[in-house]
Amino acid sequence: MSWELLRLHAPALLIAVPLVASFAMPILGRTKLSRGIIALGAMALTSCIAIFLSYTVYTSGVLLYVFGAESPALSIPPDSGGIPIRIIFTIDALSAFMTLIVAIVGFSVFLYSMSSDQRHTGLEGYYTLFLMMIAGILGMVNTGDLFNFFVFLEISSLAGAGLVAFRIEKGKAVEGALKFAVLSTMGALLLLFAVGIFYWQYDALNIAAIASRMQFSLLDQIALVMLVAALAMKCGSVPLHFWTPDAYSMAPSSVTAMLVVSSQASLYGLFRVIFTLYGIKLDWVTVGWIVIALGMLSMFVGVTMAIPQKDVKRLMAYHAISQTGYMLLGVGVGIAVLGDPASLQSYGMAAIDGGLFHIFNHAMYKGLLFLTAGAIIYVTGTRDMNAMGGLGHRMKYTMIFFMIGALAIAGIPPFNGFASKLVIYESVYRFSPVLAIIAMLVSILTLASFVKVFHSVFMGPELPEYDTGREVPLPMLLGMGLLAGIVIVIGIFPAPFIDHLVAPAAQALVNQAGYISAVAGGG
Amino acid sequence: MLSTTFHTGAGYWNPLVWLGVFLLLLVLAYLFWFRGESGYRREGEQTKPFLSGNRAPARGEMHLRASHLYWGFTEAIRGYYERVVPAHTGVLNDYLLWFLGVMSFILVIMVVIR
């Protein structure tokens, strides 16, 4: 009975647990122990619910949760004129896939933050915002309602901005947070405007309901432009990426790792809008090439801007932009051949597989790299790589974790980044060899950039200023170790991961009819 | 039993074969090292750098810092950096202008030209 109840209400609990813990934190989290129990306990519970929910979706198909209704069969009330008026969570394989990412990275960074941020004051506020951001991201990737997506986007963005500003750092962190908040709000307002356009035309806010009525009128095209620009900016795509290095570099490292996932939730939103909301009705070639162009720019500008950086976190932020380019490239190729069944089957689906696989892999290794950067800053007290050196003598575990993350991001076998990049290279090559060659060149530059970080931070003689330095505390190592383990395991066993998790997510993404019929039929 | 052979659509990839070759090379490297000079000691004069009789600089001065690396690369494409780096002004107004400009550009391509 209790399992059945859990299965029935898991989508609501997924949001309720971090939200309730977030609101309880300022009252109950006054001591280090109570704070740790509430934060880590809530995150662990949320991760368990997320994994359970994902398992249910992968084994039983699309899951509907209709807020305020007795059962999913009431997704469209009999007296609503065929429009789903309640808030509905529509959790297909793609949503489950994204939920898994949030669960894994979220738990790792919470574990890590149990030590990394304990030297600061105001931690009850810190965890309040952190849990709120988790709830926001989970809501974004699971909701089937466009207005609800806007609300969750705002929750995650505002909580994220507060967290970026957490350490103040002579105003620099506050400035980074201000840029993040203003641009996020700008994007969210455009998204809201697009939602208004849909509501005016179709009397609906539900994604499936709008998709089933979509005319691709001039207003729909304008709404699409606003949605693409807003979500491309939120995921840090060049040339809308300017806020990313400012915010990523100034946030505490555990927050930065989660900001990566938050950006990927916006990327999910972009793909959901293109495939599920508009689907085959849009001009797939034009939209596909716009997404590819954004991807190519992100890859190249991201990596070339990373190379001359001296701030370790700023360098990694530019690499996060560059890696987003791979995801945009892979899925962009899938969009560009969406209306050509032969090409879609031949290489388009593989390109989408590669793009989605890279989202997962990037969340793991980039999360790991930001956590290693945090460990370095924890010991040295600086982000300036010119002031570092020889840390490998005393921070052996951190160095190993960094090497795993760096080799994975550069696409070196047998780590997970290689597997997803291989799928992207091969499928994109069949679409356009030039794009695939540029993508490989960017990987070489990524490796070069991380060789620089590795040498300047960990290699060389032990520097006198760090003679007393030592390895970071165990919770930080455990957080990094969890992500490093996943990077290795997926690198060695990519086939089952692709077959059972990535391919169903890609199928769910392109299956617009399945998404619509799930809502219309009540799950 | 988990399959390690990964079919990519155009070919396949097996990480275990790669790991096997990597381990074999490690063993070979170890064998070369094992047959090397047995009198080597980690401590003592022989591990110190020889700088034509000059004193070795302090530890901090010997380390190649981040700024020393890839100077040639950035210098070779200086023209590119001279255009791209100044675009990152750090000014919020500029960021908003970029956002509005790119959105207008996409609007022209997707709605007007198409």
Contacts of B6 in chain A (CB under 8 A): 419, 494-495, 498
Q: Which residue from B11, B59, B95 is facing A242, i.e. has the nearest CB?
A: B95
Distance CA A126, CA A167 (A): 10
Residue A70: C-alpha distances to residues A35, A92, A205 (Å): 36, 20, 21
The radius of gyration of chain A from alpha carbons, rounded to an integer in Å, stands at 22
- CA neighbours closer than 13 Å in the CB half-sphere of residue A47: 17
Tokens encoding A47: 């991760």
Q: Residue B54, SS3?
A: coil
Residue listed under structure tokens 């669960």? A103
Distance CA B91, CA A45 (A): 41
Q: Residue A505, SS3?
A: helix
Rounded to the nearest 10°, the torsion over CA A300, A231, A102, A94 is -100
- H runs (alpha helix) in A70-145: 93-116, 123-142
Distance CA A4, CA A115 (A): 37
CA distance A302 to chain B (A): 11
Q: Which of residues 27-46 of A touch B (CB under 8 A)?
A: none
Query: Cβ A226–B10 below 8 Å, yes or no?
Result: no
Q: Which residue from B9, B13, B110 is facing A347, i.e. has the nearest CB?
A: B9
Residue ranges of E strands in A8-50: none
Q: Which residues contact A435 (CB under 8 A, 6 or more apart)?
A: A292, A296, A329, A333, A428, A429
- Measured between CA atoms, the residue of chain A closest to residue B104 is A225
Quote the distance between the C-alpha of residue A138 and its chain's center.
10
Residue B21: C-alpha distances to residues A12, A234, A413, B16 (Å): 49, 42, 12, 9
Bigger pLDDT: A448 vs A70: A448
Q: For A272-285, give the secondary structure using H, E and C.
A: HHHHHHHHHHCCHH
Query: Cβ A495–B67 below 8 Å, yes or no?
Result: no
Interface check A178 vs B, CB under 8 A: yes
Tokens encoding A401: 């974790």
Q: For position A279, what pLDDT does the model report?
A: 92
- Measured between CA atoms, the residue of chain B closest to residue A297 is B84
Distance CA A291, CA A442 (A): 18
Query: Model confidence over A16-52: pLDDT tens digits?
Result: 999 999 999 999 998 999 999 999 999 999 999 999 9
Please provide residue A143's backbone torsions phi and psi, each rounded to the nearest 5 degrees: -75, 150
Element (H, E) at A66: strand A63-66
Q: Which residues contact A64 (CB under 8 A, 6 or more apart)?
A: A72, A75, A88, A89, A90, A91, A144, A518, A519, A522, A523
Query: Model confidence over A372-401: pLDDT tens digits?
Result: 999 999 999 999 999 998 999 999 999 999
Q: Which of residues 104-143 of A touch B (CB under 8 A)?
A: none
Q: Which of B17, B42, B59 to mutate against chain A (most A CBs within 10 Å)?
A: B59
Query: Cβ B88–A350 below 8 Å, yes or no?
Result: no
Contacts of B107 in chain A (CB under 8 A): 222, 225
Query: Model confidence over B67-105: pLDDT tens digits?
Result: 888 889 999 999 999 999 999 999 999 999 999 999 999
Distance CA A465, CA A343 (A): 59
Contacts of B109 in chain A (CB under 8 A): 286, 290
Evaluated on CA atoms A186, A192, A193, A194, the torsion sign reads positive
- Measured between CA atoms, the residue of chain A closest to residue B74 is A308
A448-466 burial string, b = 16+ CB within 10 Å, else e?
A: bbbebbbbbbbbbebbebb
Under DSSP, the state recorded for A466 is G
Q: For position B106, what pLDDT does the model report?
A: 96
CA distance B93 to chain A (A): 9
Contacts of A447 in chain B (CB under 8 A): none
Query: Model confidence over A444-492: pLDDT tens digits?
Result: 999 999 999 999 999 988 888 888 778 999 999 999 999 999 999 999 9
Q: Which residues contact B108 (CB under 8 A, 6 or more apart)?
A: none
Query: Cβ A389–B99 below 8 Å, yes or no?
Result: no
Distance CA A205, CA A154 (A): 17
Query: Model confidence over A105-137: pLDDT tens digits?
Result: 999 999 999 998 888 888 999 999 999 999 999
Q: Where are the domains of chain A?
A: 283-492
